[in-house]
Amino acid sequence: MAHSEEMKSIWRSANAVTFDVDSTVIQEEGIDELAKFCGKEKEVAALTNQAMQGNVTFRQSLVERLNIIKPNLMQINRFLASHPLKLSPGIKTLITALQIHKKQVFLVSGGFHCLIAPVASSLNIPLENIFANRLKFYFTGEYAGFDQDQPTVENGGKAKVIRYLKERKGFQTIVHIGDGATDLETTPIVDLFIGYGGNVIRESVKSKSSWFITNFDELVNILETQTFGHDTVCK
């Protein structure tokens, strides 16, 4: 897909880059992998696909999937110990390059903080740079629902996070990268949205993305061609 010099310039000059996690930073959908571990794979995968295509509201899909899985704290801990989530090819190189260029990296996900935290740590992303949903447990460790006050629990939530980063944290130029319908919703608020299809291509996202990639090396290469004269990153 052709993309303009203007888009390349925005990419180079961004002082913050926000990433979706499932099927973008990692190869899988974390909730599907957790469902598989808990023996609820088939029921949950169909709902995940509907949510990613934008066919149902994200909140509705999340409630229905969690009501099927009902993961307890012991299952979560066993899952994390035995099923480390797989990073997408090239993502570590890309995030390292962004960090070298002094750009802040955030993970903005409709997934769960407890599953994303190990991913962030492996990429040297501070845990406070994660915006995601949080599971709740009773004192016995049994599933008690999820925090419904997090912005990422509903459609438009990722855009709310990016607005917060702009208005409260002062980031002037933000690029968001993701594969799903909730990522596409950030288009009106971000300076540049880049659709990603390296793990799964969602036609609804591909057709509406002005810049669509399947390989993170493309972004690394453009970043590395940045010259001192083009570097407008705010210090």
Catalytic residue annotation: 20, 22
DSSP element (H, E) containing 105: strand 104-112
Tallying the residues shown for the chain, one arrives at 235
- Alpha carbons 10 and 174: distance in angstroms, whole number: 8
- The first and second tokens of residue 199, run together, are 């793990």
For residues 199 and 179, what is the distance between their CA atoms, to the nearest angstrom?
Answer: 9
Name beta bridge partners: 107.
19, 130
DSSP secondary structure, 124-184, as one string: T--GGGEEEE-EEE-TTS-EEEE-TTSGGGSTTHHHHHHHHHHHTT--S-EEEEESSHHHH
CA-CA distance, 223 to 101, in Å (whole number)? Answer: 9
